[in-house]
Structure 1
Amino acid sequence: MTGKGSVGNWKTWPAGLPKGLFLLGLLLLCGCGLKARTLKESSLSFNRALSEALSEQLLLNLVRLRYGEPPVFLQVTSISTQYGFSGEASVGTDIEEAYPDTYHLGLGFSYALRPTFTFAPLQGKEFARRLLSPIPVEHVVLLLNSGWRADRVLRLCVQRLNHLENAPTASGPTPTEAPRFRKFLQAVSLLEKLREAGKIQFSFAQEKGRLLPVLKVAPEARKLPTLQTVRNLLGLPPAERYYLLGPGTALGSSGIRLETRSLIGVLFYLSNGIEVPEEDLSSGKLPLTRNPDGSPFSWAEVLGDIFRIKTSRSLPEGALIAVRHRGFWFYISDRDFSTKSTFILLGQLFALEASREGGPAPLLTLPIGK
């Protein structure tokens, strides 16, 4: 039964069943069934609404950063709903010669949902610290072991591998000079090929009583040309079993130094994947990155294969997520699987780095009636 409905006419009353009891049973069955369905549908609707709200907030903050505006982050502290339920019933009798004892029954039900989300801003010293602090190398390895491509994780989270730069100037507001990134992309692409082939593994190893992040190398991979190229790019000696991974220079020449971005640095970095309107660029509303010869630099060279936010004057068709800002729609195409994957990874990274506030989780309250 849907929100409103009715049960038709019966030409004959069930033999031996009291009319009042029959009516009461129908009312109870319909009412209970509707309440159960309302509970299920409202909880699923809230799930979808919350997912859309958080995704749109994240996309809007990327757009704000690209325009040089401060981001605003909100968290849901509670979710609740109330619903009104009403029903009516009518009984009538028709006296006809063919059917001298004919009864008809009418039932009607209606309900209304009133959902409520309570938001609170993410702010304070602790949130600012997590937003600005470098991502721990252990968290990078955690993401690398959760099924994500190595090159996608490293491109988002790391701005230097040893001496190889991954657009470190993009970890803040859009730079005016073209960044360095090509050798880094080459190295992480080769690392992903080795990982996919099972020749390397990002993991942890016991050393001197501590559990340390490492890059394990399979014995049969040590003489592979691909691994030799990676070693040459990173300036690494041959490894017996693994290379230590860490943030500092104390690793020595046999370790791989990962200089990670902060969470806000990741957001700034990805904001350069937004295809901003040409008129906003020409009017000077946004900074323009230039090559050494003065020509405009295209950020698609850095991010085009993993993250691309499109722009439209009107509400776009086929958009997975869309937000309106400064008279334009900024959106992720539902057909752009690579951008969708990166956006999911960004959401997981945000949850991992920024949401560890120690407060209570949001409570979902769905009354089911008496």
Structure 2
Amino acid sequence: MTSFSVDYNRVVADTRDRMILLNVVRSAYREPTYYTAFTQIEGSLSMSGSVGADAANLIGPGPASVTPTVSGSFANAPTFAIIPLNSDEFSKGMLAPIGPDTIRLFLSQGWRPKMLAPLVVQKVECLYQDQVIGEVRNEPGGYTPGVTAASFEKIVFYTGPLAKGDVYTATVPGKDAMKLLAGGALDKFDITETASPIDPTLTTVTMTAKADQNLDARLPQEFASTCRTFLTKPNRETSSFKGLVESTAEAVSVSGLITAGGDRRPDAPRNELSMNIVFRSTDGIVYYLGERLRATMEGKIPDTDTDGDVLFRVGRDVPGAAAVAIDHRGSRWSIYASDIGDREAGSGAIVDRSLQVIALLNQLISAQTSTKEFSRAPATVRVR
């Protein structure tokens, strides 16, 4: 029973991974994507056995003998149902932009920011006096002039409270309490300190957010430089930039306030050039990976980042062991089955994060879509 249950778990996991990889490859061919799911798996385990004996010389000369025989058999006949995930609720969840709170959650769980930023950032809007004057696109093989794939790797996210009233607590040594409050937190939180009744050397700091706060991000200098170029475009509407008549683009200051996934902040000066990050949807990440796969195979972008790590690599008709593999258009597409500690062991192998990307998409699909169709019943095994 234990083996059967684990085997069903592997089947569900392999099915999900292959479905995601297949949709990425479809996207590379600019084909539509399709999703399915198990709604229920039932394993019917039948056991049977028999005991018998062969007897010889029970009547007659010679010694009598009895030879016992024991036999048994097991039969597993699973039944399952697969449904297409094409409901209105599922589609809206797949197409909805990923929220800053979701990205914050992944960051808090230790996901690598250098891996998340290229995946989730669709573009960076450039705003002057609250008007969008241009955008920096994250499109493999077609980046906005002035930026590269490495530019998006440099985006640094800052995490903070999600909404007004959210409470965060931490118990630290008394001498470290003020360190916890550093970094501008004093004007964003209502803070109380309470000495621990058990250990007087410890202090419990309670922080309550005063207002809703967006996810912050730091963008590399290439973004500010590119945004400035939009101000000098001949086809801009000069009436929209009255404050820029007697100044040059280089003289315009760039706001340090970066809004991620929301509207321009009310406290951002209107006479400054500001930037707004627009996040992809889960379906958008799948299509981004497809575009990246095609651009990599056409030699337009490298398949490794500036650390030498692979973000997402798919082999085409490559021999050898594969962690995930599918067949499409007469070719075998596979993700390399890397071993634990490849690079750390000194083998010289790169760190391939392709399976981490598949894991991220698995979690995003579950988090972004709450359709009842997607809620599968747990696998069960019936013994009779």
Normalized against structure 2, the TM-score is what?
0.62
Shift of 1:310: 1.1
Residue 316 of structure 2 corresponds to which residue in structure 1? 311
- Residue 334, structure 1, aligned to residue 337, structure 2: yes
From 172, 191, 209, the counterpart of 2:156: 191
Q: C-alpha offsets along residues 250-275 of structure 1, whole Å, 9 cap, x if unaligned?
A: 35538873310112211111112325
Q: What pairs with 1:1-370 in structure 2 (closer than 5 Å)?
A: 39-93=1-55, 103-161=66-124, 163=126, 167-169=137-139, 177-179=142-144, 182=147, 185-186=150-151, 188-189=153-154, 191=156, 201-204=158-161, 206=164, 209-215=210-216, 230=220, 235-237=254-256, 245-250=260-265, 252-253=267-268, 257-274=276-293, 297-298=300-301, 300=303, 305-312=310-317, 316-335=319-338, 337-354=352-369, 356-358=370-372, 360-369=375-384
Counterparts of 2:29 and 2:259, CA distance in 1: 39
Higher relative contact order (CA 8 A, sep 6+): 2
Displacement of 1:78: 0.4
1:160, CA displacement in angstroms? 3.0
1:71 Cα offset (Å): 1.0
Q: 1:357 to 1:340 in 2, by over 3 A?
A: same
Shift of 1:363: 3.4
In 2, distance between residues paired with 1:266 and 1:181? 23
Shift of the alpha carbon at 1:150?
A: 1.0
TM-fit CA distance, 1:91 = 2.2
User: How many angstroms does 1:347 deviate by?
Assistant: 1.8
Deviation at 1:121, TM superposition (A): 0.9
Q: Distance in 2 between matches of 1:151 and 1:363?
A: 35
1:7 alignment partner in structure 2: none
For residue 305 of structure 1, give the secondary structure of its aligned residue in structure 2: coil
Q: State how far apart, in whole Å, the 2-side matches of 1:127 and 1:42 are.
A: 31
Superposed displacement of residue 104, structure 1: 3.2
> After alignment, is 207-216 or 257-266 more displaced?
207-216
Please tell me whether the aligned partners of residues 275 and 310 of structure 1 are also in contact (alpha carbons under 8 angstroms): no
CA contact (8 A) 1:320 1:331 kept: yes
Q: Is the 8 A contact 1:167 1:181 kept in 2?
A: no
Alpha-carbon deviation of 1:114? Answer: 1.3
Question: 1:317, CA displacement in angstroms?
Answer: 1.5
Matches of 1:40 and 1:48, distance apart in 2: 13
Unmatched 5+ residue regions in structure 1?
Answer: 1-38, 193-200, 217-226, 279-287, 289-295
d(CA) in 2 for partners of 1:311, 1:261: 27
CA-based RMSD of the aligned residues comes to 3.7
Q: Alpha-carbon deviations, 1:217-260, whole Å to 9, x = none? A: xxxxxxxxxx8x858956444x8xxx764422235538873310
Q: Which has the higher strand share?
A: 2
Look up the SS of the partner of 1:332 in the other structure: strand
* AA partner of residue 59 (structure 1): L
- Structure-1 separation of matches of 2:52 and 2:360: 57
SS at match of 2:25: helix
Whether the aligned pair in 2 keeps the contact of 1:276 and 1:311 (CA below 8 Å) is no
Quote the offset at 1:54 in angstroms: 0.9
Match of 2:175 in 1: none
Aligned partners of 2:311 and 2:354 also within 8 Å: yes
CA distance, structure 1, for counterparts of residue 296 and residue 300 of structure 2: 15
Residue 159 of structure 1 aligns to a residue in which SS?
strand
Structure 2: distance between partners of 1:191 and 1:76 = 38
Q: Indicate the SS of the match to 2:78.
A: strand
Query: TM-score with structure 1 length normalisation?
Result: 0.65
Give 1:161 shift.
Answer: 4.4
Question: Deviation at 1:368?
Answer: 2.0
- State how far apart, in whole Å, the 1-side matches of 2:118 and 2:7 are: 35
Give the count of matched residue pairs: 283
User: Structure 1 residues 299, 180: closer, same or farther in 2, change over 3 A?
Assistant: farther
State the distance in 2 between where 1:104 and 1:246 align.
Answer: 78
**More helix per residue: 1 or 2?**
1
List per-residue Cα deviations over 1:29-62 (Å, max 9, x = no partner). xxxxxxxxxx111101000011111111110011
Aligned counterparts of 2:145 and 2:288: Cα–Cα separation in 1: 13
CA–CA distance in structure 1, aligned partners of residues 73 and 40 of structure 2: 27
Q: Does the CA contact (< 8 Å) of 1:79 and 1:362 recur in 2? A: yes
Distance in 1 of aligned mates of 2:361 and 2:321: 21
Letter in 2 for 1:342: V
Q: Percent identity?
A: 20
